[in-house]
Structure 1
Amino acid sequence: MRTKRFSLIHLLILLPVTVLLTAAMVLGILYQTIGKEGLSLLEGLSLINEKFVGEYDEGQVVDAALEGMVEGLGDRWSYYLTEEEYEAQNQRRTNQYVGVGVTVNYESEEGLQIIEVTAGGPAEAAGLQAGELITAVDGFSLAGEARYEGAERIQGEEGTTVTLEVRSADGQIRTVKLTRTRLETDPVTAQMLEGNVGYVGLANFYDHSADRLKEEVTRLQEEGATALVFDMRNNGGGYLSQLTDMLDFLLPEGPIFISRDRAGNEEITQSDASCVDLPMAVLVNADTYSAAEFFAAELQEQGVAVIVGEPTSGKGYSQQTFQLPDGSAMAISTGAYFTGGGTSLIGTGLTLDKEVYLTGEGDAQLEAALELLTGNKTEAQD
């Protein structure tokens, strides 16, 4: 009995010591991993949860802290996304969305003006047309500042319904009930211009964009295109894999993309010998970012394309998106990238072959590109 009693006493003494040692080890690991600044963040949240007397939403507190952390990097290309924003981004990057199939603008203070109706969507089936005005959503008026809430109110879960009040160009008002559905967006538009110049407009570098660009370029070649214009204006970029697939398709054998991580490790992406042997031009503006900007730079560096338009931002970092335990995400710059010839665009942006700004009449940038390619002023066919 004496031996057992001593063992129990020793156990009771050792138990809190073990707990303390384990806690100290955990704190030591945390300190080595995230430092005193990281521990301060954790302690700050703990103090709020234990001491703060007012009402608050812990999720909003964490969102604000994480957003501030990313902003503190001072990197314009890194960003934080709430759970809802991250889900919306993932959907958008598939070149699909759930909605009714209308593209709108906010120019009218009386509601959302329809500028395009998606073929095959619920809006087209209900007879909505470009030029009409959506003045209310489910009874909620979109007049004035409320119109900026309109797009979000029209969106929703697949299979649910939404009721729109629509005013036609002649002032007639009707009510339309639509069922939201999943719709695909085509990132590529293409047509043959006068002089057998193929025009290819690219909206983004997300899913299916490379395949669609290849399809349209091939079609234009089969129709007799003697030159190509790639429109990268207002293109915010997208996936590296889509960019390199396009460059590999267009360019001859050689390096087309170089990336370098924090440790200095380099990865070089090569193009094969197959290529599109046509003179090219790329249209850019101040909203040509990331993969779109790099696309123009690489084609120019290889001597196959001229660049026309406005100065660009000079992006040279790639981002990785990391989902966090609460469903939110951080997209942070994890690599520097360079053209196949080793040039970074940071601080310089693109070197324009011809700097041209839009004036509101016609498309001076496209016309300038066509003049460089053909020596003649050419316009798009009707």
Structure 2
Amino acid sequence: MKKRNAALLCLLMMILSAVGTFFVSNLFQLRIGDKVILPKADLEYYQALDQRYSKVEELKGYIDQYFYKDVADVDFEDGLLKGLFSSLEDPYSIYMNASDYESFNISTTGEYGGIGVVVSPNENGYIEVVSPIEDTPAEKAGLKSGDIILTVDDTDVDMDMYEEAVSMIRGKPGEAVKLTIRRIGVSEILEFEIVREQIKVQVVKTDILEDQIGYLRLTSFDEDAYEEFKAELSDLQRQNITGLILDLRGNPGGSLTECTQIADYLLGEQVIVYMEDRAGEKTYYRSDKNKVDLPLVVLVDGGSASASEILTGAVQDEEAGVVIGTQTFGKGLVQSVIELRDNTAFKLTTSQYFTPDGTNIHSVGITPDLIVEPSEDETLDVQLDKAVEVIKASIQESGNASVQGASN
């Protein structure tokens, strides 16, 4: 009996060994001398790779041999990866090497050495100023939303070298950077030499205006914007404000999460925004019934972009407040940032967004309810003055309605 069991065990081991060898040979490789036998599917895959990339190697060989400059320090792999994204012809989809990605992360934390300007590649292939940041060297020097940056320190720049241009504009505080600018409506090319400073963006600024009207300026939707917004607005409410002016002028956007949290805190039960991918799949963001029950005005301009436009659209479409100012920037696309294992990353446009009534504002922007152009006299803020006027009228109208209700 024991001999029979031993024989069966031996036979079983032989079968398992043969099966294992078969699977290992097929899953990996089978070597015979200096040759390797591959499954047919694997062979076809590698042949396709060879056909696809042998041309790349051929072209690189020509460059190595004939280009008029030494290319020993050229990172061809980095160029190939960036070219992969530039072929999409989408200025917002980009590959970031480790240095680019580090620079990107620095920009979202709110503190860095630079001139304080938010820029973006545009659909014409240039690098465009979205907005200079308030109280920074860029604003004091006179950079404006819509300016096109042509050169940085005498180096021509465009959307294909967007991250490099951003890195060049940033730098050690106390050192100057030279920019040449093309501005709409100005025939000559403008030149700026701006001294860098340590830029620490104050995300939320508040004030109490006449008649106890609360003023809250939100400069970006970067990290922790929601918590700062909530704390500062709560402080205003403790001072018994009678209305709220939310100033999004020059706010270039930021995190979708921060934006929708702020909208949820501010607005009642409604759709804030919805995203739609290429398959037509929609993702809705909604606010609950809790809201800040005050007359609301939102101030916007050409520097109000992306997340600023999401919040503005939510207010306007649902008539939760009055939008005052000038046409917004017009960025209605959503990017996902994906970090890779080697500390590189990429941004890819994965969907477009729509305001609650189904409007996509990309390349168009949002038209305010009341269009008020800024004064040429920079000491005057006629847009803010109009906002105060509208809040006062809303308070007056609300008071009259209350009196009529009581008399009935």
The two structures have a TM-score, normalised by structure 2, of 0.63
Aligned length: 302
How far, CA to CA, are the matches of 2:363 and 2:200 in structure 1?
Answer: 36
Matched, 1:371 2:389: yes
Q: 5 Å matches for 1:31-46?
A: 39-40=52-53, 43-45=55-57
1:73 paired residue number: 88
1:94 paired residue among 99, 106, 109: 109
1:16 paired residue among 32, 35, 45: 35
Matched, 1:197 2:213: yes
Please say which of residues 359-368 and 222-231 is displaced more in the overlay: 359-368
Give the conservation status (yes or no) of the 8 Å contact 2:247–2:300. Answer: yes
Secondary structure of the residue aligned to 2:35 is: helix
1:48 paired residue number: 60
Give the conservation status (yes or no) of the 8 Å contact 1:316–1:346. Answer: yes
Shift of 1:308: 1.2
Shift of 1:299: 0.9
Q: 5 Å matches for 1:150-189?
A: 150-151=195-196, 185-189=201-205
1:278 paired residue among 282, 294, 301: 294
Secondary structure of the residue aligned to 2:349 is: strand
Secondary structure of the residue aligned to 1:296 is: helix
1:85 paired residue number: 100
Matched, 1:322 2:366: no
Shift of 1:260: 1.9
1:26 paired residue number: 45
How far, CA to CA, are the matches of 2:317 and 2:280 in structure 1?
Answer: 24
Matched, 1:289 2:305: yes
1:234 paired residue number: 250
The two structures have a TM-score, normalised by structure 1, of 0.67
Structure 1 pair 233–149 and aligned structure 2 pair: CA distance change class (3 A): closer
Counterpart residue type for residue 85 of structure 2: V
Shift of 1:275: 0.7
Structure 1 pair 301–107 and aligned structure 2 pair: CA distance change class (3 A): closer
Shift of 1:219: 1.4
How far, CA to CA, are the matches of 2:72 and 2:311 in structure 1?
Answer: 44
How far, CA to CA, are the matches of 1:335 and 1:144 in structure 2?
Answer: 36
1:104 paired residue among 137, 141, 149: 137
How far, CA to CA, are the matches of 2:240 and 2:31 in structure 1?
Answer: 88
Counterpart residue type for residue 83 of structure 1: A
How far, CA to CA, are the matches of 1:57 and 1:106 in structure 2?
Answer: 40
Please say which of residues 186-195 and 49-58 is displaced more in the overlay: 49-58
- 1:23-79 per-residue CA deviation (whole Å, 9 max, x = no partner) reads 624336759xxxx8xx35x74156416872252256543444444443332324333
Secondary structure of the residue aligned to 1:343 is: coil
Please say which of residues 288-297 and 341-350 is displaced more in the overlay: 341-350
Give the conservation status (yes or no) of the 8 Å contact 1:309–1:352. Answer: yes
1:244 paired residue among 260, 267, 291: 260
How far, CA to CA, are the matches of 1:106 and 1:282 in structure 2?
Answer: 22
Give the conservation status (yes or no) of the 8 Å contact 2:272–2:311. Answer: no
Shift of 1:309: 1.3
Shift of 1:324: 4.8
Shift of 1:284: 1.1
Give the conservation status (yes or no) of the 8 Å contact 1:106–1:147. Answer: no
Counterpart residue type for residue 270 of structure 2: G
1:337 paired residue number: 353
Structure 1 pair 189–344 and aligned structure 2 pair: CA distance change class (3 A): same
**Identity across the alignment (%):** 29
Structure 1 pair 142–14 and aligned structure 2 pair: CA distance change class (3 A): closer
Shift of 1:346: 3.0
How far, CA to CA, are the matches of 1:24 and 1:337 in structure 2?
Answer: 43
Give the conservation status (yes or no) of the 8 Å contact 2:313–2:356. Answer: no
- 1:96-153 per-residue CA deviation (whole Å, 9 max, x = no partner) reads 4479x99434867xxxxxxxxxxxxxxxxxxxxxxxxxxxx89x975977985853xx
2:239 paired residue number: 223
Structure 1 pair 48–325 and aligned structure 2 pair: CA distance change class (3 A): farther
How far, CA to CA, are the matches of 2:177 and 2:223 in structure 1?
Answer: 36
Structure 1 pair 49–23 and aligned structure 2 pair: CA distance change class (3 A): farther
Shift of 1:208: 0.8
1:115 paired residue number: none
Secondary structure of the residue aligned to 1:331 is: strand
Listed as ranges, the gaps of 5+ residues in structure 1 are: 1-10, 109-136, 156-182, 377-382
1:127 paired residue number: none
2:372 paired residue number: 356
Matched, 1:301 2:334: no
Secondary structure of the residue aligned to 1:275 is: coil
